[in-house]
Amino acid sequence: MGLLIVLSGPAGVGKGTVCTALRSRMPEIVYSVSATTRQPRQGEIDGVNYFFKSREQFQDMIARGALLEHAEYVGNYYGTPRDFVDKTLSSGKDVILEIEVQGALKVKENFPEAIFIFLLPPSLDELKQRITGRGTETQDIINTRMNVAVEEMSLLQHYDYAVMNDEIDAACDRIRSIVIAEHCRRERFMPYVTGLKTAIEKA
């Protein structure tokens, strides 16, 4: 069974950038593409960056139970298609979810055994600069995102790990170390040890 790795943090912290860099370093990790009702940003491709849905389409997915989690954030829906995640984990591959904090907490309710990593900005000033630098948000939305970010960082207590995104390569190294360590947890080897003991007893 693969590991479900949940990477989240406030908007503008660099989740997408870090996740992309991490996947180039760890190509064995499968990226779960989220669905959203927000408009595509320049260069984003449907089915690659997100599955872009209308509100009606997204609400239908909710009604059918087709989402592992979903949340509404700053007027738009975000969610994780369930079937893809279940099938990939069952095949033994790790899956990484790059999602908003609300969604991560909902995943925790259904998959408490997942690995929850909170990506932190080096400072609030830096976070604001990153959001502003996109050039896609109005001042009202920037202010809203900053207020939400402060609230979300207070939810760090619900995560297993915190990673500071002060520098992309360093952040990736920290996350990679977490994944390696989690694969080495003793409970993941207990079935193997039990099998060895059974084989010896039968010999």
- Residues of the chain with pLDDT > 70, as a percent, come to 98
Q: Is the pLDDT of residue 169 over 70?
A: yes
- Residues of the chain with pLDDT > 90, as a percent, come to 43
- Of 178, 166, 180, 128, the C-alpha closest to 18 is 166
Q: pLDDT digits over 193-203, tens only?
A: 888 878 887 76
Q: What is the mean pLDDT of residues 164-181?
A: 94
**Sequence spans of domains, the chain:** 4-202
Q: Is the pLDDT of residue 58 over 90?
A: yes
The confidence score (pLDDT) of residue 194 equals 85
The confidence score (pLDDT) of residue 62 equals 93
* This model's pTM is above 0.85: no
CA 23, 29, 30, 35: dihedral to nearest 10 degrees?
A: -60
Report the alpha-carbon distance of residue 107 to residue 97 in Å, rounded: 10
Q: What are phi and psi of 46, to 5 degrees?
A: -60, 130
Q: In sequence order, which residues have a C-beta less than 8 Å from that of residue 5 and are 6 or more positions away?
A: 29, 94, 95, 96, 97, 114, 115, 117, 179
Q: What is the mean pLDDT of residues 155-181?
A: 94
Q: pLDDT digits over 27-55, tens only?
A: 999 998 889 999 998 899 988 888 999 99
The confidence score (pLDDT) of residue 10 equals 87
Q: Is the pLDDT of residue 178 over 90?
A: yes
Fold of the domain spanning 4-202: Rossmann fold (3.40.50)
Q: pLDDT digits over 14-31, tens only?
A: 898 999 999 899 999 999
- Of 45, 90, 85, 83, the C-alpha closest to 66 is 83
Identify the residue whose tokens are 């003991």.
Answer: 197
- Of 7, 4, 3, 16, the C-alpha closest to 130 is 16
Helix, strand counts (H, E) of the chain:
8, 9
Q: What is the mean pLDDT of residues 93-112?
A: 89
Q: What is the mean pLDDT of residues 76-101?
A: 90
Q: How confident is the model at residue 135 (pLDDT cuts 50, 70, 90)?
A: low
